[in-house]
């Protein structure tokens, strides 16, 4: 790779393929694979990722919000797209763009059926979400009769899948809870199929569900974080390759004398002679203020340079006193080393948060 001349997020499509194939190797051949590409494909580039996965014959996509699905349709993606968290205001748009809603309560079920009827739809594919313990979105088991009577009274929709979501699939101390969620969902599934008389696709596993609960893969699995290179454990992380590397460049180097300060609010006070480097990335780019004042660090020539002082909107300053480097040299924020998991741990958070936080003003550079 040539040296970056500004802050960039490099996206490695070979790593994406590796992760996809690793996850697929955990499945039986007839288990479908849904790729979760919400939030700009976890901060990378949803259209690029979707096109690549479509070429690799992924079965399904999911996004969180309707607008995210519209962007994919505008880009020519034809694979079915499940919208995990739609709002009634977008139901016409969902139908217009052939997106498939998750129906998670009586209000959205009723309103979606009304819109589908008005639009003269028949058998429009919908997905029914059940709550099995996350207590976020979803019907309860005892709503099955209501759901079926509502959807059968109308020819406008057809239940294409039923699903639930695990609360702690990555946490092996919560195996009993997770197994309970899976058992509850299996009961719901059997009851649902018996009542509706056809067999919708059933799915409950996210990435850590795929890795830790092989008996719960059912008809389809939904993976997000794994595709982007994280296994949510030290052991599994080794089997994945992070697809995104956040790189930058040294804009300026300063010599700071004893008693001088660095940055806003004079938050860093030097007690000796030191060298600082200013890097063009800040809290507006997703590096929150919680990484400031010695918590987070970047890598320059393979060595750690801690962030000193407060994170600014468009810049950080790092301590390079013991690093032999020049203005224009490459800076790594996260990628292979440190990984986003390691970088985010310095501010007590997780890979999911830091990778999805990288702002859209940072140019994505696709590596094929």
Ligand X SMILES: *Cc1c(COP(=O)(O)O)cnc(C)c1O
Q: Which residues are at the interface with ligand X (CB under 6 A)?
A: 36, 84, 165, 206-207, 222-226
- Sign of the C-alpha dihedral computed for residues 18, 19, 25 and 30 taken in this order: negative
Among 38, 129, 160, 247, the one annotated catalytic: 38
Rounded to a whole number of angstroms, the minimum distance from the CB of residue 336 to ligand X is 20
38 is catalytic: yes
Rounded to a whole number of angstroms, the minimum distance from the CB of residue 213 to ligand X is 13
Record the tokens describing residue 81, joined without a space. 């797209």
Closest residue to ligand X, judged by C-beta, is 224
Among 32, 264, 275, 295, the one annotated catalytic: 264
Contact 138, 104 (CB under 8 A): yes
Contacts of 148 (CB under 8 A, 6+ apart): 192, 195, 196
Nearer to ligand X, 36 or 108 (CB): 36
Binding region: 136, 313
| HSE, side-chain direction, 13 A CA sphere, residue 183 | 6
Nearer to ligand X, 36 or 196 (CB): 36
Nearer to ligand X, 189 or 283 (CB): 189
Nearer to ligand X, 227 or 249 (CB): 227
Nearer to ligand X, 208 or 310 (CB): 208
Rounded to a whole number of angstroms, the minimum distance from the CB of residue 36 to ligand X is 4
Rounded to a whole number of angstroms, the minimum distance from the CB of residue 251 to ligand X is 34
Record the tokens describing residue 164, joined without a space. 């639930």
Nearer to ligand X, 140 or 252 (CB): 140
Instruction: Categorise residue 283: left if φ over 0, alpha if ψ from -120 to 50, beta otherwise.
Output: alpha
Q: Which of 42, 30, 47 is nearest to 366 (CA)?
A: 47
Binding region for substrate: 136, 313
Q: What is the largest CA-CA distance in the chain?
A: 78
Query: CA-CA distance, 185 to 132, in Å (whole number)?
Result: 7
Contact 196, 152 (CB under 8 A): yes
Contact 47, 69 (CB under 8 A): no
Query: CA-CA distance, 73 to 54, in Å (whole number)?
Result: 13
Rounded to a whole number of angstroms, the minimum distance from the CB of residue 204 to ligand X is 9
Question: Omega of the bond prior to 338 within 30 degrees of 0, cis?
Answer: yes
- Sign of the C-alpha dihedral computed for residues 176, 177, 178 and 182 taken in this order: positive
107 is catalytic: no
Q: How far is CA 133 from CA 167, 180, 207, 216, in A?
A: 7, 9, 18, 16
Rounded to a whole number of angstroms, the minimum distance from the CB of residue 178 to ligand X is 13
Sheet holding 303-308, edge to edge: 252-256, 274-279, 316-319, 303-308, 297-300, 330-334, 244-249, 8-12, 363-367
- Residues known to be catalytic: 38, 264
């Amino acid at each position: 790779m040539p040296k970056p001349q500004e802050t960039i997020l490099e996206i490695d499509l070979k790593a994406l393929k590796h992760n996809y194939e690793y996850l697929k190797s955990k499945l039986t051949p007839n288990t479908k694979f849904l790729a979760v590409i919400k939030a700009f494909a976890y901060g990378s580039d949803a259209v690029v990722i979707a096109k690549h996965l479509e070429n690799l014959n992924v079965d399904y996509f999911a996004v969180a919000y309707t607008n995210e699905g519209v962007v994919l349709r505008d880009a020519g993606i034809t694979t079915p797209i499940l919208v995990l968290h739609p709002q009634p205001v977008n139901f016409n748009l969902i139908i217009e763009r052939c997106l498939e809603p998750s129906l998670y309560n009586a209000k959205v079920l009723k309103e979606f059926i009304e819109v589908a009827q008005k639009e003269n739809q028949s058998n429009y594919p919908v997905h029914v979400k059940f709550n099995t313990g996350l207590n976020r979105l979803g019907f309860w088991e005892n709503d099955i009769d209501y759901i079926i009577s509502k959807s059968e009274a109308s020819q406008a929709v057809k239940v294409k899948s039923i699903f639930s979501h695990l609360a702690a699939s990555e946490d092996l101390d919560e195996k009993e809870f997770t197994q309970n969620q899976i058992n509850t969902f299996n009961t719901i599934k059997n009851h649902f199929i018996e009542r509706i008389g056809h067999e919708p696709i059933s799915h409950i596993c996210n990435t850590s569900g795929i890795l830790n609960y092989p008996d719960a893969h059912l008809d389809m699995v939904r993976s997000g974080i794994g595709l982007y290179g994280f296994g949510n454990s030290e052991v599994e992380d080794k089997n994945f390759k992070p697809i995104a590397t956040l790189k930058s460049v040294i804009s300026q180097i300063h010599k700071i004398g004893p008693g001088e300060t660095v940055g806003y609010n004079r938050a860093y006070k030097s007690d000796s002679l030191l060298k600082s480097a200013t890097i063009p990335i800040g809290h507006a780019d997703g590096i929150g203020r919680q990484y400031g004042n010695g918590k987070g660090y970047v890598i320059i020539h393979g060595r750690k340079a801690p962030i000193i002082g407060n994170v600014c909107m468009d810049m950080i300053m790092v301590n390079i006193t013991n690093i032999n480097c020049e203005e224009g040299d490459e800076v790594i924020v996260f990628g292979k080393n440190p990984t986003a998991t390691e970088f985010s741990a310095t501010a007590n958070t997780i890979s999911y948060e830091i990778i999805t936080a990288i702002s859209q003003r940072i140019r994505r550079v696709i590596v094929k």
